[in-house]
């Protein structure tokens, strides 16, 4: 049974207030007229958009809805997987060849985040756009640098352990809800010839996924100011007890055989295949990845079952945040059209189109909806209760730390590195 969201009218305001990869492709939606109140695109003009592939369904739906209002506008939409996108977008912006509207990540810690790109003068200030006043405070903070907003963030995604519920039920396994149950769960899965959790470590950004499940409880539950402390130089990863414990527990999971064999030789596509076929029971990842899973196994139900990184039910936190959105290229060839499209994306119609086409996301701006999809209900509960933290790297001072973590985790999985090595490598990039 597919877990694609079924959206109905209701109340989402409390959740939003608390809220805080695919293969490269290109689509050309041709047509050409004036755009809406953000500025005239002009008859016969074109508008170019470059987006990350893992949210291609969302941007395609938003573009289609916008195209209906602008039937004569030639919209050129291109997408690329995350690694290719991050390697390309900064070069394009520097060379003046980037699209009119570009996908960027919020906050910092990512090579294509606004903290890395906006200071170079590559992005237009969006602070005076009408939709900005509708942002919940946590989202406005994530999309701003030095008080100026540079990002239209349409969606919030959760991050956690996603289970092949069908395989789970057939094997008679119960997903862990706290740390003391994790290793026994891995052992039970292994006894049935299955990997508990699949990792596609050859895809670099997959190496952060397990830590996104462990760190929230172990770090932020006891030290909610860790992000500010790491950015100010007040502490390091090796000095933060929660990070030391999280890395140690990750190492314990590896030693206990919780992961698939040859994890460093498997990419994300192989990770997805293992879980879709039931050879592995679960994977850690972002909610938007569900679309790829459901395309592989349309008759399988995928469920998120968060577990606490410790055994204290009062510290059960989840990573849930905005994973990026639209920015206006300061050197856009059709800047008026770019502003207008971004304004549409920030409108109720644009937000609804974007999230309605994705699996596992909720709007970053309140739309008055509620959900009967079990995964969105779980995410909603965490958001409504204020039990969420941003994506880990959004708190970090630079993207080099993330790369050090990726490499370190690969080494640990390969048996050539340790948890201590990873923390030291991350510390070395703090300066």
Q: Is 393 exposed, middle or buried (0-12, 13-18, 19+ CB in 10 A)?
A: buried
User: Who contacts 171 (Cβ-Cβ below 8 Å, separation ≥6)?
Assistant: 189, 192, 194, 281
Query: Could you tell me if residue 384 is inside a domain?
Result: no
pLDDT surpassing 60 at residue 262 = yes
User: In this predicted structure, what is the pLDDT of residue 30?
Assistant: 33
Same domain, 117 and 170: no
Same domain, 189 and 109: no
Same domain, 277 and 304: yes
Query: Could you tell me if residue 169 is inside a domain?
Result: yes
Contact by Cβ (8 Å): 327, 148: no
User: Who contacts 78 (Cβ-Cβ below 8 Å, separation ≥6)?
Assistant: 24, 25, 26, 27, 48, 49, 50, 51, 99
Over residues 296-305, mean pLDDT: 96
pLDDT surpassing 60 at residue 6 = no
When pLDDT is cut at 50, 70 and 90, the band that residue 221 belongs to is very high
Same domain, 358 and 286: no
pLDDT surpassing 70 at residue 220 = yes
User: In this predicted structure, what is the pLDDT of residue 214?
Assistant: 96
Same domain, 108 and 75: yes
Same domain, 115 and 183: no
Q: Is the pTM of this model over 0.85?
A: no
Same domain, 347 and 296: no
Number of domains making up the chain: 2
Same domain, 332 and 220: no
H helix runs in 125-240, sequence order: 137-142, 165-171, 182-191, 209-215, 226-232
Q: How does the average pLDDT of the chain come out, rounded?
A: 89
Q: How much of the chain exceeds pLDDT 70, in percent?
A: 90
User: What's the pLDDT tens digit per position in 107-141?
Assistant: 998 899 999 999 999 999 999 999 999 999 989 99
User: What's the pLDDT tens digit per position in 379-411?
Assistant: 888 988 889 999 999 999 999 999 999 999 999
Same domain, 221 and 358: no
User: What's the pLDDT tens digit per position in 7-46?
Assistant: 322 333 333 333 323 233 333 433 333 333 333 444 459 9
Same domain, 316 and 413: yes
When pLDDT is cut at 50, 70 and 90, the band that residue 370 belongs to is confident
Q: Which of 132, 111, 137 is nearest to 122 (CA)?
A: 111
Query: Could you tell me if residue 405 is inside a domain?
Result: yes
When pLDDT is cut at 50, 70 and 90, the band that residue 5 belongs to is very low
Q: Is 303 exposed, middle or buried (0-12, 13-18, 19+ CB in 10 A)?
A: middle
Query: Could you tell me if residue 382 is inside a domain?
Result: no
Contact by Cβ (8 Å): 238, 423: yes
pLDDT surpassing 70 at residue 105 = yes
User: In this predicted structure, what is the pLDDT of residue 44?
Assistant: 56
Q: CATH no. for residue 119?
A: 3.40.190.10
Query: Could you tell me if residue 372 is inside a domain?
Result: no
Same domain, 220 and 279: yes
When pLDDT is cut at 50, 70 and 90, the band that residue 415 belongs to is very high
Query: Could you tell me if residue 65 is inside a domain?
Result: yes
Domain with 194, as residue range(s), is 157-320+389-428
Query: Could you tell me if residue 77 is inside a domain?
Result: yes
Same domain, 82 and 207: no
Distance CA 116, CA 356 (A): 30
Query: Could you tell me if residue 118 is inside a domain?
Result: yes
């Amino acid at each position: 049974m597919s877990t694609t969201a079924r959206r109905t009218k209701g109340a989402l305001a409390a959740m939003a207030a608390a809220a805080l990869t695919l293969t490269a492709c290109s689509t050309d939606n041709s047509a050409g007229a004036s755009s809406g109140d953000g500025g005239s695109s002009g008859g016969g003009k074109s508008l170019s958009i470059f987006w990350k592939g893992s949210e291609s369904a969302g941007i395609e739906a938003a573009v289609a809805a916008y195209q209906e209002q602008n039937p004569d506008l030639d919209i050129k939409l291109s997408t690329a997987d995350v690694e290719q996108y991050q390697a390309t977008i900064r070069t394009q912006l520097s060379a003046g060849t980037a699209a009119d509207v570009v996908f960027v990540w919020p906050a910092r810690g990512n090579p294509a985040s606004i903290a890395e790109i906006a200071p170079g003068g590559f992005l237009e200030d969006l602070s005076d756009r009408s939709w900005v006043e509708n942002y919940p405070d946590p989202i406005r903070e994530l999309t701003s640098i030095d008080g100026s907003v540079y990002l239209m963030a349409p969606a919030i995604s959760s991050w956690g352990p996603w289970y092949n519920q069908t395989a789970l039920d057939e094997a008679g396994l119960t997903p862990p809800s706290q740390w003391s149950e994790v290793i026994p769960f891995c052992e039970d899965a292994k006894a049935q010839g299955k990997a508990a959790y699949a990792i596609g470590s050859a895809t670099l950004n997959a190496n952060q996924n397990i830590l996104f499940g462990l760190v929230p409880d172990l770090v932020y539950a006891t030290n909610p100011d860790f992000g500010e402390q790491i950015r100010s130089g007040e502490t390091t990863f090796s000095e933060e007890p929660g990070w030391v414990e999280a890395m140690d527990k990750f190492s314990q999971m590896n030693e206990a055989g919780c992961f698939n064999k040859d994890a460093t030789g498997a990419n994300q596509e192989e990770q997805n295949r293992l879980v879709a076929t039931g050879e592995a029971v679960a994977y850690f990842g972002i909610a938007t990845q569900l679309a790829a899973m459901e395309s592989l196994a349309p008759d399988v139900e995928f469920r998120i079952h968060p577990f606490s990184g410790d055994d204290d039910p009062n510290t059960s936190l989840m990573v849930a945040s905005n994973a990026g959105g639209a920015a206006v290229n300061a050197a856009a060839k059709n800047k008026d059209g770019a502003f207008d499209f971004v304004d549409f994306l920030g409108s109720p119609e644009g937000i609804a189109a974007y999230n309605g086409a994705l699996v596992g996301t909720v709007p970053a701006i309140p739309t008055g909806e509620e959900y009967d999809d079990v995964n969105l209900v779980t995410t909603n509960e965490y958001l409504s209760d204020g039990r969420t933290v941003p994506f880990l790297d959004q708190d970090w001072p630079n993207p080099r730390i993330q790369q050090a973590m990726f490499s370190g985790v690969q080494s640990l999985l390969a048996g050539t590195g340790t948890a201590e090595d990873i923390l030291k490598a991350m510390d070395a990039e703090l300066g």
